[in-house]
A = this chain, B = another copy of it.
Amino acid sequence: MSSKELEVLEDFITQNNLKITRQRRSVLKAFLDSEEHVSAEELYKLVTASEPKVGLATVYRTLALLIQSGLASELDFGDGQKRYEHKYMHSHHDHMICTECGKIIEFNHPLIEKFQEEVAARNGFTITSHKLDMFGMCSDCR
């Protein structure tokens, strides 16, 4: 493993006087190998599959690091647990969540973004981030 992402993480770590450890590499690796939109628990299972002694707390702590270093971002679909998605080299998009099978389709519609800016401007509001989630049924479940 010698990905671009590992470099980003190592840069962030060294720039902040932190340390590169086996656990951090493991969590990053599992995160990169994972589906988009993993939960902490899922990631924990993935990590412990190859590194049984890693604790759940370390997964959470490393996820925080990934978020700070810009490699991951936090999602909340309102189901009681946070999810994490790849952010590096992965541009902004929104989500369609199938409430039947859990499948998540990502999409981006430039005009929707444009009209968002427009509404915001009309209200004197400056957008720093947004999220659009659509819930429903995917083609397989209909």
Binding site for B on A (CB under 8 A): 74, 76, 78, 96, 98-99, 105, 107, 109, 111-112, 115-116, 118-120, 123-139, 142
A78-B76, A139-B123 given; A99·B128 CB < 8 A: yes
> Judging by beta carbons under 8 Å apart, are A125 and B139 in contact?
yes
New contact pairs (19) apart from A125-B139, A127-B136, CB-CB < 8 Å = A76-B76, A76-B78, A96-B119, A96-B127, A99-B128, A105-B123, A107-B123, A111-B115, A112-B112, A115-B115, A116-B134, A120-B134, A120-B136, A124-B139, A124-B142, A125-B136, A130-B132, A131-B132, A131-B133
CA separation between A136 and B135, bound complex, in Å?
A: 24
> Judging by beta carbons under 8 Å apart, are A126 and B115 in contact?
no
Please tell me how many copies of the chain the complex holds: 2
**A–B Cβ pairs within 8 angstroms, 30 of them:** A76-B78, A96-B123, A99-B128, A105-B123, A107-B119, A109-B118, A109-B119, A111-B111, A111-B115, A112-B115, A112-B119, A115-B115, A116-B132, A123-B139, A124-B138, A124-B139, A124-B142, A125-B137, A125-B138, A126-B136, A126-B137, A126-B142, A127-B135, A128-B135, A128-B136, A129-B134, A129-B136, A130-B132, A132-B132, A132-B133
